[in-house]
Amino acid sequence: MYQKFPDRLTSGEAFLVQKAIGHDAEAFGRLYDMHVNRVYRHVYYRVGNRADAEDLTQQTFLKAWQAIGRYRKTDHPGDKWVMTISHNLIIDFYRTRKSESYLDADFIAHDPAPGPERAAEARFEQQRLRRQILRLHGNEQQVVILRFIEGFEFREIASLLEKKEGNIRVILHRALVKLRHMLEEGNY
Amino acid sequence: MPAKFEDILGQCLEDIQAGRYSIDECLKMYPLLRNRLEPLLRIALKIKPPADIEPSPEFTVRARVQIMEQIYARRDVTKRTESRYISQSSLIPQRRRFSMIGIIIAVVLTVSGLGGGTAYASQDSLPGDVLYSVKLGTEQVRMILPGDDIDKAELALTFADKRVAEMATLAEKGRTENLILARDKYDDALNTVMSRIEAARGKGLATARVSELVSETTAEQLSALDKVYDQVPAEAREAITKARQVSLKGQEHALLALAQDTPARAAEINMATAEDRLNRAIAVAVSDFEEVENALEQYEEINQFGEEISQIAQGLGKNVATVEELVAKATSRHLSILDEVKDKVPDQAKSAIERARKASIDGLGNALKVLAGENPAKAMELNLAAMEERLNRVRAEAAEGDVEEVQDALQQFEEMARFGEEISQIAQGLGKDVATVEELVARATTIHLEVLSKVLEQVPDQARAAVEGAMQESVKGYERATEALEKIGTPDIIPPKPPIPKEVPVPKEIPPVPRPEVPAGSDKDAEGKQEIQGEQRTPGPPSGRGGRP
- Per-residue pLDDT reduced to its tens digit, A12-60: 677 788 888 888 887 888 888 888 888 888 888 888 888 889 999 999 9
CB-based contacts of A113, cutoff 8 Å, min separation 6 = none
CA distance to A30, B136, B343, per residue, from B206 (Å): 24, 29, 46
Please tell me the distance from the alpha carbon of residue B414 to that of residue B284, in angstroms, as a whole number: 31
Please tell me the distance from the alpha carbon of residue B214 to that of residue B197, in angstroms, as a whole number: 10
What is the predicted ipTM? 0.79
Q: Does A116 have pLDDT greater than 70?
A: no
Task: Give the CA angle between residues B501, B502, B505 to the nearest 5°.
Answer: 100
Contact residues on chain A for B7, CB-CB shorter than 8 A: 166, 169
What's the confidence (pLDDT) of residue B451? 87
Between the two ends of chain A, the Cα-to-Cα distance in Å is 49
Q: How far is A46 from chain B (nearest CA, A)?
A: 11
What's the confidence (pLDDT) of residue B278? 93
Q: Does B76 have pLDDT greater than 70?
A: no
Task: Give the CA angle between residues B2, B7, B9 to the nearest 5°.
Answer: 115
Task: Identify which has the larger pLDDT, B166 or A150.
Answer: B166
CB contact under 8 A, B49 and A180: no
CA A47 to centroid of chain Cα atoms: 11
Within B260-288, where are the H helices?
A: 263-283
Contact B313, B267 (CB under 8 A): yes
| pLDDT bracket for residue B217 (50, 70, 90) | very high
Please tell me the distance from the alpha carbon of residue A168 to that of residue B493, in angstroms, as a whole number: 81
- Report the pLDDT averaged over residues B17-24: 89
Task: Give the CA angle between residues B414, B419, B420 to the nearest 5°.
Answer: 90
CB contact under 8 A, A172 and B6: yes
Q: How far is B371 from chain A (nearest CA, A)?
A: 23
Q: Which of A9, A34, A66 to mutate to test the interface with B (most CBs of B within 10 A)?
A: A9
Task: Identify which has the larger pLDDT, B439 or B92.
Answer: B439
CB neighbourhood size of B42 (10 A) = 12
Contact residues on chain A for B252, CB-CB shorter than 8 A: 4-5
- Lowest pLDDT segment from A113-122, B15-24, B289-298, B447-456: A113-122
How many CA atoms does the CB half-sphere of B499 hold within 13 Å?
Answer: 5
| pLDDT bracket for residue B124 (50, 70, 90) | confident
Q: From B143, which residue of chain A is nearest by alpha-carbon distance?
A: A33
CB contact under 8 A, B198 and A29: no
| pLDDT bracket for residue B73 (50, 70, 90) | low
- Report the pLDDT averaged over residues B501-523: 44
Percent with pLDDT over 70 in chain A: 73
Q: Does B116 have pLDDT greater than 60?
A: no
Task: Identify which has the larger pLDDT, B427 or B133.
Answer: B427
CB contact under 8 A, A9 and B144: no
Name, of B26-30, B89-93, B263-267, B504-508, the range with top average pLDDT: B263-267
Q: How far is B244 from chain A (nearest CA, A)?
A: 13
What would the 3-class secondary structure string for chain A be? CHHHCCCHHHHCHHHHHHHHHCCCHHHHHHHHHHHHHHHHHHHHHHHCCHHHHHHHHHHHHHHHHHHHHHCCCCCCCHHHHHHHHHHHHHHHHHHHCCCCCCCCCCCCCCCCCCCCHHHHHHHHHHHHHHHHHHHCCHHHHHHHHHHHHCCCCHHHHHHHHCCCHHHHHHHHHHHHHHHHHHHHCCCC
Is A57's Cβ below 8 Å from some Cβ in B?
Answer: yes
Q: Give the residue from A35, A41, A39 showing the smallest Cα distance to A12.
A: A35
CB contact under 8 A, B43 and A149: no
| pLDDT bracket for residue A114 (50, 70, 90) | very low
- Report the pLDDT averaged over residues B428-437: 88
Task: Give the CA angle between residues B20, B316, B19 to the nearest 5°.
Answer: 10
| DSSP-derived secondary structure letter, B497 | P
CB contact under 8 A, B194 and A37: no
Q: Give the residue from A69, A40, A67 showing the smallest Cα distance to A55.
A: A40
Burial class (CB in 10 A: 0-12, 13-18, 19+), B89: exposed
Please tell me the distance from the alpha carbon of residue B225 to that of residue B489, in angstroms, as a whole number: 60
| pLDDT bracket for residue B299 (50, 70, 90) | very high
Please tell me the distance from the alpha carbon of residue B492 to that of residue B486, in angstroms, as a whole number: 9
Contact residues on chain B for A164, CB-CB shorter than 8 A: none
**How high is the mean pLDDT of chain B?**
80
Side chain identity at residue A170, one-letter code: V
pLDDT digits (tens, 9 = 90+) for B258-270: 999 999 999 999 9
* Binding-face residues of A in 84-143 toward B, CB within 8 A: 107-108, 110-112, 123, 125-126, 129-130, 133
Please tell me the distance from the alpha carbon of residue B52 to that of residue B74, in angstroms, as a whole number: 35
| pLDDT bracket for residue B469 (50, 70, 90) | confident
CB-based contacts of A53, cutoff 8 Å, min separation 6 = A40, A43, A44, A47, B55
Contact residues on chain A for B312, CB-CB shorter than 8 A: 1
Contact residues on chain A for B136, CB-CB shorter than 8 A: 26
Q: How far is A127 from chain B (nearest CA, A)?
A: 10
CA distance to A17, A41, A107, A124, A166, per residue, from B53 (Å): 26, 6, 9, 14, 32
CB contact under 8 A, B49 and A150: yes
Contact B303, B331 (CB under 8 A): yes
Contact residues on chain B for A151, CB-CB shorter than 8 A: 49
Please tell me the distance from the alpha carbon of residue B29 to that of residue B36, in angstroms, as a whole number: 13
